[in-house]
Structure 1
Amino acid sequence: MDCTKNYCVKDIRLAPSGEKKIDWVSRFMPVLQSIREDFEEKKPFKGVKIAATLHLEMKTAFLLLTLKAGGAEVSATASNPLSTQDDVVAALAKAGVRVYAVRGESREGYYENMHRALDIEPNIIIDDGADMISVVHRERTEFIDNIWGASEETTTGVIRLRTMEKDRVLKFPIIAVNDSYTKYLFDNRYRTGQSTWDGIIRTTNLLVAGKNVVVVGYGWCGRGIAMRARGFGATVIVAEVDPIRSLEARMDGFLVMPMTEAAKVGDIFITATGDINCIRREHFELMKDGVILANAGHFDVEISKPDLEALAVEINQPRPNITEYKMKDGRRLYLLAEGRLVNLAAADGHPAEIMDMSFALQAKAAEYIRNNHDTLEPKVYVLPREIDEMVARIKLKAMGIEIEQLTEEQRKYLKSWEHGT
């Protein structure tokens, strides 16, 4: 490893490869490019320190460089040990971002690097999963008074942070970027749907058509995964605890059943819930020989690896990113990417055109915190609707799409309460 005070990377000589990746995706991120140009001119983050815990790959790198272009001093570390791209991390280090991450680092190394990134004493935190925010609240409380606020990228992190707010332990304001319309309607649904299957197909090289695909969880991520599975020609089964989402899945044309039933017939299982042990011992015991297990949730807890290990009489690695668990009766269950985010651990993550909107929201969230932290309380907030609409309008323009406009008469009508039948 190459380590200095300002970075800790696998090999700084990998930077040219990472620079090419970042240059490539920047061409397909017009919204963030527009924000970067504005930041370069106005320097809204001059004198501001920003620490980020994110999946350190090429799209995320463009976000970090956008913040740096706005005048920020930026430090970064990984939000998942298997999603780090070492050449991209090296390119960030070369560009002057304080970055500490190595693909495949241990749990101990993961948190050591997080503490290194926090040593910058940030004013703003950008998180993906709420690990950094949690560490500050538990272990680095000396920084709390200096932190204006934080933004959170993913559903799992927002769940944790709303619990902290409910328990009255949250010490600074949070912007739930995940809850913005131009994030969850597009990022969670379309990018997760595509990139999850990209990771599965790259890793297994198996056919999806004709198989029974079990999607565990029918939130926006689950919806996207199920939609793409149907497009590939699979029969889709949804396992969901929420009665409204379950009804929606059935009305969308999918089969709905409990996991104990789905486990008997599924060929490919994909979790997307944000909860622990959604597929566990009693389900593994019912599964057919040769099933594929993959996770699209943030943490590697949705598929119980301890249960798999306890049931297995033999564990092998038949292909990269595939772990084979052989059962006593000869059945083989295949876990992809160690149960971590399959789209990032076994592929390149989400498409640039969609992350363009999500990371535009992250950049604007940091600016919003910078401008409004004096009036924000230690609560979880959603960005104002006008920021959502700004992102959507820039995206539509970049796609060459014009939309209808209200006439003055229509505006007056919508504001009036006097008109009736």
Structure 2
Amino acid sequence: MEIQNDLLDSLDRDMLITVLMCLDDPADIVRAGSVSRAWRDFVISNGVCKQICLRLFPQLSSVARLIDISNRMEKPVDVECSSSIEWDYEKMEHRTYASLAQRLTSSEMESCIAAAISASSTDNDPEESIQNTLEPRDRVGRRASYWSSSGQKNAAVPEKLTYKLVSDICVITEISVQPFQAFFQANSPIYSAKAVRFHMGHQILSDNGEGDHQGQGGKQSDDGKFIWTYTSEEFPMAQEKCLQKFKLPQAVLCIGGILQIELLGRVQKQEMDGLLYICITHVQVMGRSLSPVFGVEILEPSGKFLLKYDSQARYCPPTSAGGSVETPEGSMLAPGLLQRRHVRGWEILNLFRGNIGVEVYDSDDENNDSDEEFDA
């Protein structure tokens, strides 16, 4: 086939970046970088994968520094460093955000709750502790398993349940809460809330590791121990004994690994004392952890964070019976990997629906990073 003009020669830089940003699948960016050496250099030098990640999750704009801990590489601080060192960093940044983009857009779902931290009140501790909400059953043996707030005369008094997630950086998509039905009381009342709201963020840590000062960039909780960088809308809660699922309008990147469930409004009085209570049987948090490939370190008091990338670590995603992983688009990839293939010119052109020919880049001419970008 006669080789014609490359798109790099036909479109200016801003236009080409605009076209690339219209791609829905981050894997297509990696494929674009496999077309030729010039395409690879263009994708890397313009930080296209990073721009895709920022578009998907604006919380990543708070990244102050990026470190590849396995290769001990971070952004050079020497303003007079060599261009080769700068280029090595740009390649590392490209690999990092390519791997991050894949994980952020994965369809994999897993339980992301690790431990219960605290409740704003507890009626009978430890019998009615927040720890009981980690148990999916409402009975353990002959004992009822639930958390109960203290009683209140005012129905507007809220309650808060705070949890630690499985890692300091998680993508959360759905939170479920099951009210408790007091089967041992007359008429088996259900102690639900009127509504729920969710907060995500991180703990405030001082230099000595204690939570005794306020950071910036989020809403401080009442007890001064946490910074909330995300607050959801209010979701109405039904007075029903079932695991009620609250799907977030968009997936949320929780940086810091702390989730708080705010229970708004009381609907059920206890007959014996006439006070209003909220009781919860079980809490479930669904999403996916970015650990061990990614980790964070909060930089107080700025609210920015250090993003750590371990290029040697590997996820262990669940596989289907055939040993493959289903992507959001429904295509099947090898477990944890982007299918390894070098894109031909006509394939990338189909992405742009054009008819300009592109010379195919043979990556064997150089140590090409594209095969590794989606391995993590």
Q: Which range, TM-score by smaller chain?
A: under 0.3
- Give the alignment's TM-score, normalised by structure 1: 0.25
Instruction: Flag the structure with higher helix content.
Output: 1
The one of the two structures with greater contact order (alpha-carbon pairs below 8 A, sep at least 6) is 2
- Give the alignment's TM-score, normalised by structure 2: 0.27
